[in-house]
Amino acid sequence: MRDTLLAALSASASADAVSWLRGQISELSENFEKHPFYYAFSGVSRRFDKAATIQSENETIVGWDEFRTARVALLLVLAEKDKDTFLESFSAVLNTADIREQIALFSALRWMRHQEDLVESAVDGLRSNIVDIYDSIALDNPFPQEHFTDEAWNQMVLKAIFISRPLHRIHGIEARRNQALAEAISDLAHERWAAGRLITPEAWRSCIGFIDERIAGDIAKMAESENPDDRAAAALVVAEEESGKLESRKTTLADELSKIEIGDLSWKSLGQEMEDKIIRKSLT
């Protein structure tokens, strides 16, 4: 992975900055010391462009800026060290990290060793009010799916709904479905409807397989909605639900179900559409 990161930086950053980073990686790999590592991690901000987005064919780093990319490359050196050195250094950097440094640390979780010892830090990070920090943990990152308890997972997904983050970019959004989350989503939907507000249609994806009488009523409400996104989500639930509790909705959603059958509608396409709407709204 380090070669991928360095190649992406070489196509974007200055030659001097990349040369400096390669030198730091080489020196730390051969003779690791904590303080030089801390200085290098912090020193990225003096050599790379925080506004420059790297270009890469590797989907896991698409959209990263130079700061995050360079720091994760350094963290891959730290990941090679013994457990005590690794955990002490990772914790020390995290405790003093600014926003961009935290983003790099959490983005690197998927490639770190001793991941079971980093779960608490990730859960704490999700409490941040900084959306970019939340995104570095929750979006496009397999770490929560692999290590979070159901309670921590559910809190992460519910917060994503609260702060309008794209659920389709959460790894394991289907595999980690559970009864408690389905019930919490239904409760949240009823609260929002009572206040005249909407809930993201993507939320219902986590209810499939846990359709009780109340949630079946929620899906019926979505199916009758004038909002095409709500109807699309209802149809996607109906198409996947195997309990038979939503059979009566198939007639109402015939058009949407046809789109699903021919591949014109999926959770991914709906999620991307919702994400695009959030981006457009933020620009107005």
Task: List pLDDT tens digits, range 108-134.
Answer: 999 999 999 999 999 999 999 999 999
pLDDT tens digit sequence for 186-235: 999 999 999 999 999 999 999 999 999 999 999 999 999 999 999 999 99
pLDDT at position 46, please?
Answer: 96
pLDDT at position 223, please?
Answer: 97
pLDDT at position 196, please?
Answer: 94
Write out the chain's pLDDT in tens, 284 residues.
999 999 999 999 999 999 999 999 999 999 999 999 999 999 999 999 999 999 888 889 999 999 999 999 999 999 999 999 999 999 999 999 999 999 999 999 999 999 999 999 999 999 999 999 999 999 999 999 999 999 999 999 999 999 999 999 999 999 999 999 999 999 999 999 999 999 999 999 999 999 999 999 999 999 999 999 999 999 999 999 999 999 999 999 999 999 999 999 999 999 999 999 988 887 87
pLDDT at position 91, please?
Answer: 97
Q: Rounded to two decimals, what is the model's pTM?
A: 0.94
pLDDT at position 160, please?
Answer: 98
pLDDT at position 26, please?
Answer: 97
Report CA torsion sign: 37, 41, 42, 45.
positive
- Residue boundaries of the structural domains of the chain: 1-119, 168-284
Q: What is the mean pLDDT of the chain?
A: 96
